[in-house]
Structure 1
Amino acid sequence: MPANEYSAASCASSKPASPDRNIKNVVLGNVLFNTWFHSLYPEELVGKDTDRLYVCRWCFRYSCDKDAYLGHTRLCEHRSTPPGTKVYDWRGYSVWEIDGEDYKLYAQNLSLFAKLFLDHKSVFFDVSSFLYYILVFTNPRDANDYHVLGYFSKEKMSWDANNLACILVFPPYQHKQLGKLLMGVSYKLSAWEWEGGIIGGPERPLSEMGRKSYIRFWEERISRFFLLGPPGADPYGRKIASASSSSRPMAGGSKGAKRKLARKEMTVREIGQATGMLVEDVIAALKEMGIVESEKSGKKRKRAPLPSSTTTTTATSGAVDVEATEAAVVRKQNVLEWAKMHRVDLRDPVAEEGFLGEWAPEDEDEEDQETDSGI
């Protein structure tokens, strides 16, 4: 499509627009769509009642003047390659890490554009302390033709162990599971499964839409762990902590049963360690899924209530012990039924082999050689 022709995005009216927005419509590349909220663009460049703002799809520079915009797009320095360092690349989708200190203007323009679709975003100009990760799709027929579909940001140093500060999939590309891809990358980049890594989550409080998206992401992450994670490994094939886990026959079986289902106990904290999730996020997901059953125990023993990190979980038949005389059980069959009912794709949205550089999976042959040589 020629650069001076614009197609209206199908999601243009997917969210009610705020009455105080200063820009009604935006053109990103060759796509025209509505804005949702007010953004702090300089008033000397963008008026209080702008009908259409033109935004470069490569660097997010903006103009109310169509000719100035078209002139810029012919010369944009990022026209063929995004800025920053590529950290993920899989089947046309890539993620690039951009340091806000090194690419200050890019990060500021991206933040101003994002505010048109985020109600509570507050950082626009002080970007030096943030890293930005843009999601890019590259045309398989032309390596120089790419589109930025969304992004997430995170603080370089988060005292609250946040692995994400802000996330947005641009309106024309929403409802394509791309948010889950970005969330999955954010968890990987927190290095939670490595020694010295951090188990964290998104910055709080979450918006209503953000909480809904994350709850679903956590639900699917936990369901993959219960259904696909073999003993001693999570769904992605990596070894997990199972120091206090134990396997034993399931209690409460019917008399005369020929065999008893295997049962594995673990605490909620251990589920979090196996999936890279905070304890409170594990609990929130289990509650929303509605797969936890009560199981009375004949033994009276002190156990922490459900919101505790010491709550015990049984993973093959599944169980989370809640009270002194009662256990909360998570059965694999219930998890499977939940996954089918909600049409969950048990494949991880992030391909482990797609990570590059320091995030690339370790080669097993190299690991064996290091072990043999005593390194």
Structure 2
Amino acid sequence: MEKKGKRAVKEELYGIIETRNIEYVQYGVSLRFPTWYGSTAYFQQTTRHLGLRDSDGRRSAGDGIDEKPKSSRNVPESSDFWLETLCVCEYCFKYTDDPNELKKHSSQCRFRSKSPGRIQYRTPEISIRKVSGSRHPLFCQCLCLFTKLFLDNKSMYFKVDHYDFYIVYSNQTHKPMAFFSKDLTSFQKHNLACILTLPPYQRKGLGTLLMDFSYKLSIHDDIMSGPEQPLSPFGLAGYLKYWSTSICLQFLEGSLQGKSRVSLEDISKATGMRLGDILLTLRNLNCLSEKNEISLQELRLWMKHHRQHTHAFIDDDYLILDD
């Protein structure tokens, strides 16, 4: 009974489907890779043709590269997939089922040379741009649609006006590589709603970089914060690694170095982390004594084996945050 209940709830979430219904993504003109999850949000619900409606039944602004209804013509009749290949622009995330349309669009996409949003962080190699959902709704809608193909529980696509998107760009190619979204109306003041490193750019530390950047925003705003809860098992594992590294750095090299007594509030002020997340991390590190005193020896031991993760942290010298 419980399993059926969970499935029923899942089916009520717009766009979510139990199986993959798009087989491949043609990402730009040169990259092609399989999807991880399905999404009905790209399709008209009654015909399964590419071309979508929002949750109120209205045509979305992000209805494809050429703004024409799609036929989903590139899927064999015997296939279980609704579409064999979704062609997506790697600059603006507009989409089509026609490779020729994608090629034509990619050569003249307006974001090819000038990316949206304002730069908040810039190193010689990458930039993080703040893109407002209210100012760039089409771009953000298309990004959210694309994200659903690689995140199982993504269910927000169209109502992006109260979200900011922080996107990592390559300074050399102007291509987006990873992003997180932030809900501006969050009562709990979460610093992150959704995070994804795009498939071609994974295993480069970009997820850790964005986690660290989200806490730089929290510290800048003088609040204790963290990601929306509950985290998936994969998300929790990623955050525990980040939280552990962040806390260890503060004790061994940062503002908490050399202090004889440190409270949870001290750690929170240094890291921007919520007290509950700090306590969870310290217990996970096995560095709390029976008297709840922190063992620096355990922190040093953990850091010895995880030092490589620190290369992905934000360099404060390159921050350009809004006042």
Report TM bin, short chain.
0.7 to 0.9
- Find the aligned partners of 1:135 and 1:279 in 2 and give their Cα distance: 28
Is residue 131–residue 153 contact of structure 1 (8 Å, CA) maintained in 2? yes
Following superposition, the deviation at residue 162 of structure 1 comes to 0.2
Q: Secondary structure at the match of 2:216?
A: helix
State the match for 2:38 in structure 1.
Answer: 38
Q: Normalized per residue, which structure has more helix?
A: 2
Structure 1 residue runs of 5 or longer lacking an equivalent are 1-17, 140-144, 236-261, 295-326, 360-375
- Find the aligned partners of 2:18 and 2:309 in 1 and give their Cα distance: 38
Match of 2:206 among 159, 178, 188: 178
1:341 aligns with 2:317: no
**Amino acid across the alignment from 2:238:** S
State the match for 1:137 in structure 2.
Answer: 170
1:262-284 CA-to-partner distances (Å, cap 9, x unmatched) read 86223212211221100110011
Following superposition, the deviation at residue 21 of structure 1 comes to 1.5
Q: TM-score, normalised by structure 1?
A: 0.69
Q: Judging changes above 3 Å, is the alpha-carbon distance between structure 1 residues 193 and 136 closer, same or farther for their aligned structure 2 residues?
A: closer
State the match for 2:264 in structure 1.
Answer: 268
Following superposition, the deviation at residue 19 of structure 1 comes to 6.0
- Find the aligned partners of 1:60 and 1:234 in 2 and give their Cα distance: 43
State the match for 1:22 in structure 2.
Answer: 21
1:284 aligns with 2:264: no
- Percent identity among equivalent residues? 34
Higher relative contact order (CA 8 A, sep 6+): 2
Q: TM-score, normalised by structure 2?
A: 0.79
Farther off after superposition, 338-347 or 157-166 = 338-347
Largest Rg, 1 or 2: 1
Q: Judging changes above 3 Å, is the alpha-carbon distance between structure 1 residues 159 and 66 closer, same or farther for their aligned structure 2 residues?
A: same
Match of 1:211 among 206, 231, 236: 236
Q: Judging changes above 3 Å, is the alpha-carbon distance between structure 1 residues 341 and 82 closer, same or farther for their aligned structure 2 residues?
A: same
- Find the aligned partners of 1:274 and 1:357 in 2 and give their Cα distance: 18
State the match for 2:96 in structure 1.
Answer: 63
**Amino acid across the alignment from 2:38:** H
1:267-302 CA-to-partner distances (Å, cap 9, x unmatched) read 2122112211001100111111122233xxxxxxxx
State the match for 1:303 in structure 2.
Answer: none
Following superposition, the deviation at residue 193 of structure 1 comes to 4.9
- Find the aligned partners of 1:285 and 1:107 in 2 and give their Cα distance: 33
Q: Judging changes above 3 Å, is the alpha-carbon distance between structure 1 residues 199 and 280 closer, same or farther for their aligned structure 2 residues?
A: same
Match of 2:249 among 221, 224, 231: 224
**Amino acid across the alignment from 2:268:** G
Number of equivalenced pairs: 273
Match of 1:148 among 176, 191, 198: 176
Q: Judging changes above 3 Å, is the alpha-carbon distance between structure 1 residues 187 and 117 closer, same or farther for their aligned structure 2 residues?
A: same
1:122 aligns with 2:127: no
1:85 aligns with 2:84: no
Q: Judging changes above 3 Å, is the alpha-carbon distance between structure 1 residues 110 and 193 closer, same or farther for their aligned structure 2 residues?
A: closer
Is residue 87–residue 97 contact of structure 1 (8 Å, CA) maintained in 2? yes
- Find the aligned partners of 1:128 and 1:263 in 2 and give their Cα distance: 44
Is residue 286–residue 298 contact of structure 2 (8 Å, CA) maintained in 1? no
**Amino acid across the alignment from 1:35:** T
Is residue 287–residue 296 contact of structure 2 (8 Å, CA) maintained in 1? no
- Find the aligned partners of 1:199 and 1:181 in 2 and give their Cα distance: 19
